[in-house]
């Protein structure tokens, strides 16, 4: 989704903005642009282009002196991706420039009102309305400063925004405001950064102020002042972020996707680190803010998330049920929030989100809380909107995930659910020895994942064959079904092969009609009570001339088991089986020449509906 970045200080702004925009590329975008204040009597200059950042760079002047500016990567919502619709947008006199992440929902009414006053619009975007609104306020009230003009404009806006605004008549000043879209400030020495994403500024400063909903910040080289929509000052000191700037580099890997797949060894160590209690065979999860009594009172657990987070939640629900015998299920956050859900007192809710900014997940959290329910977050991005909205939770500590598709945070979420399952189970009926078996299984994970990564060349060989097809099925049972969903999602996201997931038991109820030599099947066959059933599904496929690749475990008998996973505890098996699926999708996408890290039409963080 769109990203914004801004700078005011002593340094030349263009290289800083371009570097920030490069760091935002991973979120997905279709055009980009910058606005700077150039010259000693500053004048606004705007450069913007459709397509990749290189197109923008080609339009920029070689030498330009400017120390204040804003930049944007756009992911089209209102108006097609072209040069005119790219941000920044300006007012009619081209003195004010705005970049915007979010959606102005009442843009058509505002546009009609402004057009009736004779204002001409250049673009089809909702954002352009904001630039004209600010100019209108300045005309109506000539004595007000830019911050006040922005505040009065935003009072007319319905929707979500993270915006940066500047006006050439107030040089070396940026105004930043947020509601429903992330925005943070980076505080340096006589300089300030603003961005929608930590990655865009963490290289320059680790002193960060997370703006709250409704905040308006005025930034100058001297510092920042934060005010509310009611013009009250809000004191907010910077916090030091621990984010490792290296997370934002490929570190020698061809793609972020591959780097992040390989990081899973360390990530699993981090998510489990300090949280396993061998003495009591349980997990220490103080951040959930639950007493032993609260935990006992939980009769049902409901988990919400979108995309891969929802799939991880579905496996997590099974994990909790297996261990703690508490009824548990997962639901896509957007579906949940729009069906007037029943919130029960003894149900505990979890929200899963890598970014912590997914709009639908945040809205689902707010829906539960509005009705009096408790929501705990499983979030990667520290200090994100969902993390802050939740009543407690645990962080994944997976480091920044840059590739659009989720890999390391998917398995980290599964590991987090193992901890949560163990924590609830040991507060109920799981015996000490069964608890120890789970603890030991989790401790083994980093070593097992290392071994699986060593098998990557084997998965690459399978990928060469799968890459020839245009359709594929993924099948499995229980957790294997949800893994099939994740495998098929990964494959379609980055290789554009049409892939569908089915519960293996459902194959004969319809999809079998499409199985032939042109539609292969990837079957998940863990070493469990259902091996025989899974093998008969495979036989059904083969009888229809369908080619089969098995992600099989341990001693599973199959003449197709080309993607072997070691024997493991049923709780950690889904984590291990996710690895071949991730690597398969990665190598198939490479084979088909796709843009692995930034698949078409997709955004890393979906901050609008």
Strands 159-167 and 96-104: antiparallel
Dihedral sign computed on CA atoms, order 334, 335, 341, 344: negative
Where does this chain touch ligand G6P (CB under 6 A) — which range of 57-65, 97-105, 249-257, 399-407? 399-407
Asked if 123 is part of the footprint of ligand G6P (rule: CB under 6 A), the reply reads: no
Where does this chain touch ligand G6P (CB under 6 A) — which range of 58-66, 246-254, 301-309, 314-322? 301-309
Asked if 227 is part of the footprint of ligand G6P (rule: CB under 6 A), the reply reads: no
Widest Cα–Cα separation across the chain: 81
In whole angstroms, what is the distance from residue 377 CA to residue 392 CA?
A: 6
Asked if 101 is part of the footprint of ligand G6P (rule: CB under 6 A), the reply reads: no
Strands 31-38 and 207-210: unpaired
- Angle at CA of residue 460, ends 455 and 464, nearest 5°: 155
Kindly tell me which residue out of 306, 313, 525, 578 binds ligand G6P, with binding defined by CB under 6 A.
Answer: 306
CB nearer to ligand G6P: pick between 405 and 445: 405
Asked if 307 is part of the footprint of ligand G6P (rule: CB under 6 A), the reply reads: yes
CB nearer to ligand G6P: pick between 173 and 308: 308
Q: Name the minimum Å distance from CB 390 to ligand G6P.
A: 13
Kindly tell me which residue out of 18, 130, 309, 568 binds ligand G6P, with binding defined by CB under 6 A.
Answer: 309
From 2, 328, 390, 594, the catalytic residue: 2
Which burial class, exposed, middle or buried, applies to 234 when counting CB atoms under 10 A from its CB (0-12, 13-18, 19+)?
middle
Task: Cite the DSSP H helix spans in 371-407.
Answer: 385-389
| String of contacts with ligand G6P for each residue 366-395, x by CB under 6 A | ------------------------------
In 450-590, where do the E strands start and end? Answer: 471-476, 498-503, 521-525, 548-553, 563-565
Q: What phi and psi values does residue 276 have, to the nearest 5 degrees?
A: -100, 130
Kindly tell me which residue out of 282, 361, 547, 598 binds ligand G6P, with binding defined by CB under 6 A.
Answer: 361
Asked if 407 is part of the footprint of ligand G6P (rule: CB under 6 A), the reply reads: no
Where does this chain touch ligand G6P (CB under 6 A) — which range of 56-64, 263-271, 285-293, 402-410? 402-410
In whole angstroms, what is the distance from residue 608 CA to residue 195 CA?
A: 17
Which burial class, exposed, middle or buried, applies to 508 when counting CB atoms under 10 A from its CB (0-12, 13-18, 19+)?
middle
Asked if 181 is part of the footprint of ligand G6P (rule: CB under 6 A), the reply reads: no
225: enclosing H helix or E strand: strand 223-227
Q: Can you say whether residue 327 is alpha, beta or left, with left for phi > 0 and alpha for psi between -120 and 50 degrees?
A: beta
CB nearer to ligand G6P: pick between 314 and 354: 354
Kindly tell me which residue out of 67, 264, 495, 605 binds ligand G6P, with binding defined by CB under 6 A.
Answer: 605
| String of contacts with ligand G6P for each residue 516-535, x by CB under 6 A | --------------------
Where does this chain touch ligand G6P (CB under 6 A) — which range of 216-224, 266-274, 280-288, 598-606? 598-606
In 105-188, where do the E strands start and end? Answer: 159-167, 174-179, 184-187
In whole angstroms, what is the distance from residue 319 CA to residue 324 CA?
A: 8
Kindly tell me which residue out of 123, 147, 264, 308 binds ligand G6P, with binding defined by CB under 6 A.
Answer: 308
Where does this chain touch ligand G6P (CB under 6 A) — which range of 156-164, 207-215, 236-244, 599-607? 599-607
Asked if 353 is part of the footprint of ligand G6P (rule: CB under 6 A), the reply reads: yes
Asked if 358 is part of the footprint of ligand G6P (rule: CB under 6 A), the reply reads: yes
Q: What is the DSSP string of 21-87?
A: HHHHGGG--SEEEEEEEETTTTEEEEEEEESSHHHHHHHS-SS---SEEEEEEE--SSS-SSTTTSS
| Contact present, 584 and 522 (Cβ < 8 Å) | yes
Where does this chain touch ligand G6P (CB under 6 A) — which range of 83-91, 285-293, 300-308, 548-556? 300-308
Which burial class, exposed, middle or buried, applies to 495 when counting CB atoms under 10 A from its CB (0-12, 13-18, 19+)?
buried
Report cis status (omega within 30 of 0) of the bond before 576. Answer: no
Kindly tell me which residue out of 86, 303, 405, 445 binds ligand G6P, with binding defined by CB under 6 A.
Answer: 405
Kindly tell me which residue out of 271, 467, 606, 608 binds ligand G6P, with binding defined by CB under 6 A.
Answer: 606
In whole angstroms, what is the distance from residue 270 CA to residue 268 CA?
A: 5
Asked if 406 is part of the footprint of ligand G6P (rule: CB under 6 A), the reply reads: yes
CB nearer to ligand G6P: pick between 217 and 405: 405
| DSSP SS3 for 408 | helix
Residue whose C-beta lies closest to ligand G6P? 307
From 48, 259, 408, 604, the catalytic residue: 604
**Helices 307-324/408-426 angle, 10° precision:** 20
- 2 assigned to active site: yes
Where does this chain touch ligand G6P (CB under 6 A) — which range of 143-151, 338-346, 355-363, 458-466? 355-363
Q: Name the minimum Å distance from CB 160 to ligand G6P.
A: 15
CB nearer to ligand G6P: pick between 240 and 601: 601
Q: Name the minimum Å distance from CB 499 to ligand G6P.
A: 15
CB nearer to ligand G6P: pick between 361 and 573: 361
Question: Structure tokens of 496?
Answer: 């554009």
In whole angstroms, what is the distance from residue 392 CA to residue 417 CA?
A: 15
CB nearer to ligand G6P: pick between 494 and 525: 494
In whole angstroms, what is the distance from residue 188 CA to residue 115 CA?
A: 41
Asked if 444 is part of the footprint of ligand G6P (rule: CB under 6 A), the reply reads: no
CB nearer to ligand G6P: pick between 354 and 573: 354
Instruction: For the beta carbon of residue 437, count every other beta carbon within 10 angstroms.
Output: 15
Q: Which residues bind ligand G6P (CB under 6 A)?
A: 306-309, 353-355, 358, 361, 404-406, 602-606
Active site residues: 2, 604
């Amino acid at each position: 989704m769109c990203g914004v970045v801004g700078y005011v200080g002593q340094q030349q702004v263009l290289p800083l903005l371009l570097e920030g925009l490069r760091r935002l590329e991973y979120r997905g975008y279709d055009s980009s642009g910058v606005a700077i204040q150039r010259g000693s009597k500053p004048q606004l200059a705007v450069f913007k282009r459709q397509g990749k950042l290189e197109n923008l760079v080609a339009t920029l002047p070689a030498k330009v002196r400017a120390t204040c500016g804003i930049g944007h990567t756009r992911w089209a919502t209102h108006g097609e991706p072209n040069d005119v619709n790219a941000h920044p947008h300006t007012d009619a006199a081209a003195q004010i420039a705005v970049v915007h992440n979010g959606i102005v929902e009442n843009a058509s009414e505002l546009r009609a009102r402004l057009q009736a006053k004779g204002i001409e619009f250049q673009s089809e975007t909702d954002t352009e309305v904001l630039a004209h609104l600010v100019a209108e306020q300045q005309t109506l009230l000539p004595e007000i400063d830019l911050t006040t003009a922005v505040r009065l404009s935003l009072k007319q806006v319905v929707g979500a925004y993270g915006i940066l605004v500047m006006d050439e008549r107030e040089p070396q000043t940026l105004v930043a405001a947020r509601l429903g879209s992330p925005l943070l400030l980076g505080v340096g020495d006589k300089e300030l950064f603003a961005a929608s994403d930590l990655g865009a500024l963490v290289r320059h400063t680790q002193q960060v102020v997370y703006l709250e909903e409704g905040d308006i910040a005025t930034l100058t080289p001297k510092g920042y002042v934060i005010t509310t929509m009611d013009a009250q000052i809000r004191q907010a000191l910077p916090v030091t972020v621990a984010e490792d700037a290296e997370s934002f580099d490929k570190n020698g890997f061809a793609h972020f996707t591959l780097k992040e797949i390989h990081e899973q060894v360390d990530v699993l160590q981090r998510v489990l680190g300090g949280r396993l209690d061998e003495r009591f065979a349980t997990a220490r999860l103080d951040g959930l803010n639950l007493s032993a009594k609260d935990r006992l009172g939980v009769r049902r657990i409901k988990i919400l998330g979108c995309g891969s987070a929802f799939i991880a939640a579905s496996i997590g629900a099974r994990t909790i049920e297996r261990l703690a015998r508490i009824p548990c299920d997962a639901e896509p956050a957007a579906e949940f929030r729009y069906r007037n859900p029943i919130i029960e007192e003894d149900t505990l809710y979890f929200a899963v989100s890598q970014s912590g900014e997914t709009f639908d997940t945040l809205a689902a959290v707010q829906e539960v809380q509005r009705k009096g329910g408790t929501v705990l977050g499983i979030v990667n991005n520290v200090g994100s909107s969902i993390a802050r909205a939740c009543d407690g939770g645990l962080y994944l500590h997976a480091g920044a995930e840059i590739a659009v598709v989720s890999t390391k945070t998917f398995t980290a979420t599964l590991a987090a659910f193992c901890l949560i399952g163990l924590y609830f189970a040991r507060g109920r009926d799981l015996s000490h020895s069964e608890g120890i078996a789970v603890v030991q299984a989790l401790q083994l994970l980093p070593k097992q994942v290392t071994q699986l990564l060593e098998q990557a060349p084997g998965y690459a060989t399978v990928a060469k064959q799968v890459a020839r097809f245009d359709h594929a099925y993924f099948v499995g049972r229980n957790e294997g079904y949800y893994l099939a969903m994740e495998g098929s999602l990964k494959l379609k996201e980055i290789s554009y092969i049409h892939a569908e997931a089915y519960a293996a038991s459902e194959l004969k109820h319809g999809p079998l009609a499409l199985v032939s030599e042109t539609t292969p099947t990837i079957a998940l066959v863990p070493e469990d009570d259902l091996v025989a059933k899974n093998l008969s599904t495979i036989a059904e496929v083969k009888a229809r001339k369908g080619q089969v690749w098995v992600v099989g475990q341990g001693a599973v008998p199959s003449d197709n088991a080309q993607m072997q996973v070691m024997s493991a505890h049923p709780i950690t098996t889904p984590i291990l089986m996710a690895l071949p699926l991730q690597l398969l999708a990665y190598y198939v996408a490479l084979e088909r020449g796709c843009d692995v890290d930034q698949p078409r039409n997709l955004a890393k963080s979906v901050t609008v509906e």
